[in-house]
Amino acid sequence: MNFELVYAAPAAEVFERLELAAKAALKGRQKVGKMKSSKQEGLFKQVRKTLLLLSDNPRHPGLNTHAYDSIPHPYDPEGKVWEAYVQNRTPGAYRIFWCYGPDKKQITVIAITPHP
């Protein structure tokens, strides 16, 4: 049941920013010889894993996927937007907002954001 992920501009920007922060943190950590991963590295790893699970199976129980009403569907006014958990029980836990489309077997990632 693999889906192709399509990124809306805001989601792509956040993903790139998180990736750059993780790479910079890894480089700095290696420079000083630390072994433990930084928060930036951990967050990017969690986001990447969530996106992998989402593309593989949007109904995966670990995603805690549920409908979200406050964001309009970008392709279909009657369509649902969904929320998937990146983190849980964490202050400012990250979430991924997504919808099906624009084509069959595609998922559009609308936003990657900390939970308000």
We report the CATH number of the domain holding residue 107 as 3.30.2310.20
Per-residue pLDDT reduced to its tens digit, 61-113? 999 999 999 999 999 989 999 999 999 988 889 999 999 999 999 999 999 99
C-alpha closest to that of 22 among 3, 46, 39, 5: 39
CA distance 71 to 61: 22
Per-residue pLDDT reduced to its tens digit, 8-43? 999 999 999 999 999 999 898 888 888 888 899 999
Residue span of the structural domain in which 107 resides = 4-114
Per-residue pLDDT reduced to its tens digit, 65-75? 999 999 999 99
